[in-house]
Amino acid sequence: MTKLSVNINKIATLRNARGGNIPNLLNAAKDTERFGAHGITVHPRPDERHITYNDVRELKQVIKTEFNIEGNPREKKFVNLVLEVKPQQVTLVPDAQGQLTSNHGWDTLKNKEYLKEIILLFKSKGIRTSVFVDASVRMIEGAKETGTDRIELYTEDYARKYDANKEQAIAPFRRAAQCATELGLGINAGHDLNLDNLKFFRQQIPHLLEVSIGHALISDALYFGLENTVQMYLRQLK
């Protein structure tokens, strides 16, 4: 079964909008695990507008499943945090400072030497690495040369085109996944996956190990409740 890692950034956004500790981020993470999620994802940004660096440290103490930290390793503060916390997985994302949300993958050819260096550092500490990439065979071939364990397919383009023509939308992701599998790379995916498009994506992408879903899942939880929503997403992955 493809694993579900729930990104809880939006819960922190809601908390930060008012100050204080409502909703309680740590309790939300523990409940999300208890409701069946296979992991927790966070993406701390330099401005700490949602997940704070201290949140990451506190979450490490309570998470019993897999902890996945996303971020741009060009931020020294981020690298130091990952090395301190030692999550099971770090996902490298090429976000610019102040960027609203992730909107592109790495150019693994232009950034190959840098990625090789930072991936070697994380792997030397026993942290599994994943590189955020577009559904491009060339970028996946470049990712292989960096030494990463996995790639995470950036799925916004699939989600945007899904309603108009799902076969056309999935085609480049099928090719990308086949390339990754042939190269021995694990496959994760994330961004704009939701209850409408997740099942088809999972069915069409062999060897999909993990999806990371935040915005859509937390939004659905406002209507369906967190426990029910986690179960709904898990059913899409079976």
Where does the pLDDT of residue 56 fall: very low under 50, low under 70, confident under 90, or very high at 90 and above?
Answer: very high
Return the pLDDT at 104: 73
Radius of gyration of the chain (CA): 17
Q: Quick check: 99 pLDDT over 60?
A: no
Strand extents, DSSP E, the chain? 3-7, 39-42, 66-71, 89-92, 128-133, 150-154, 186-190, 208-213
- Would residue 141 show up in a list of annotated catalytic residues for this protein? no
What average pLDDT is seen over the chain? 95
186 forms beta bridges with 150
97 — pLDDT class (breaks 50, 70, 90): low
Write down the pTM of the prediction: 0.95
Task: Decide if 43 is catalytic.
Answer: yes
Q: Of the residues 33, 50, 152, 191, which is catalytic?
A: 191
Alpha carbon 159 to its chain centroid, in Å, reads 15
Quick one: which of 24, 2, 3 has its CA closest to 11? Answer: 24
Query: Residue 96: what pLDDT?
Result: 61
Instruction: Please state the separation of Cα 193 from the chain's center in Å.
Output: 11
Catalytic annotation, pick one of 66, 70, 152, 210: 70
User: Could you read off the pLDDT of 166-215 as tens digits, one per residue?
Assistant: 999 999 999 999 999 999 999 999 999 999 999 999 999 989 999 999 99
Separation of alpha carbons 167 and 237, rounded Å:
19
Query: How far does Cα 110 stand from its chain's mean position?
Result: 22
pLDDT for 101? 56
What six digits make up the tokens of 53?
């660096």
Q: Residue 191 catalytic?
A: yes
Among residues 43, 50, 152, 210, the one annotated as catalytic is: 43
Q: What is the mean pLDDT of residues 98-110?
A: 73
Exposure pattern of 189-227 as b/e (b: 16+ CB <10 Å)? bbbbbbbebbebbbebbeebebbbbbbbbbebbeeeebe
